[in-house]
Amino acid sequence: MASSRPGHKPAQPGKVYGAPGAGYSGHISLITSLALIGLWFLVTSAGWVRPLFLPSPFAVYDKFVSAMTDGVANSTLTEHALASLSRVFGAFFLACVTAIPVGILMGVNRYARGIFDPPIEFYRPLPPLAYLPLIIIWFGIGEFPKVLLIYLAIFAPMAIAARAGVRSVSIEQIHAAYAMGGTRAQIVWHVILKAAMPEIFTGMRIGIGVGWTTLVAAEMVAADRGLGFMVLNAAQFLASDTVIMGIIVIGVFAFAFDLLVRYLEKFAIPWKGRV
């Protein structure tokens, strides 16, 4: 029953108590971010931590400007970023056109599930560094092994998410579509695929996150530029300002792409959470 007290808005139908976790949290995230940055300023300005271990925000910003203009590790920051972006997004788009169809096929066909499920479930828990030496032995130290390592890390979560999306489709929807004369191909395209889209987008977000975490391992393979290479190279010389600057740049790129996928998700599947 809606409250009659002055200043209280009447409760919307079905939301008397509110859904768990409902409500806007952007202002809380902003306050948290500002508090963490303020703590960083406080710790470094007070000298509680040596600059070798935690440089000040001003030092990191100066290194960012220097990397953009003069460069670091024989390349500018832009060149490092473009090299890493081409590897991550190349592997991501390759995974999209292969992992999603494989996951859907695993969900609708038991033979495909029996073929693809064992190898995917076997290598999925393995850290990329575990099979990196084997990739080097098989494919050398060129550009292809770097992209392949990131691709393998992205492929498994995207395929599993697509399969889970297919398995979550309501059997009543499938029966209703068949009752209206739909063919098997039409059921897969118009019913199963659309119902699985939320899980597929979740798999894309997880996959690109895994791709960025695998970037540093991939650029250990005889790379001469890239954000991961830049961070590893700086760590060898204890240049913590460059390390932190590189970590921030990687985080900004990863977060920006995650926001892009969220926007595309709202555009592509506006019914998510409403049906």
Q: Please name each of the domains of the chain with its CATH number.
A: 55-268 (1.10.3720.10)
Q: Cα 185 to chain center, whole Å? A: 31
The string of pLDDT tens digits covering residues 19-33 is 666 677 778 888 998
Looking from the CA of 41 toward its CB, the CA atoms found within 13 Å total: 8
| pTM value surpassing 0.75 | yes
The string of pLDDT tens digits covering residues 80-106 is 999 999 999 999 999 999 999 999 999
Does 16 have pLDDT greater than 70?
no
Percent of the chain at pLDDT > 70 equals: 90
| 235-263 per-residue burial string, b: 16 or more CB within 10 A, e: under 16 | eeeebbbbbbbbeebbeebbeebbeeeee
Does 250 have pLDDT greater than 80?
yes
Q: Cα 254 to chain center, whole Å? A: 7
Range with the poorest average pLDDT among 82-86, 150-154, 167-171: 167-171
Question: Which of 92, 201, 206, 210 has its CA nearest to residue 151?
Answer: 92
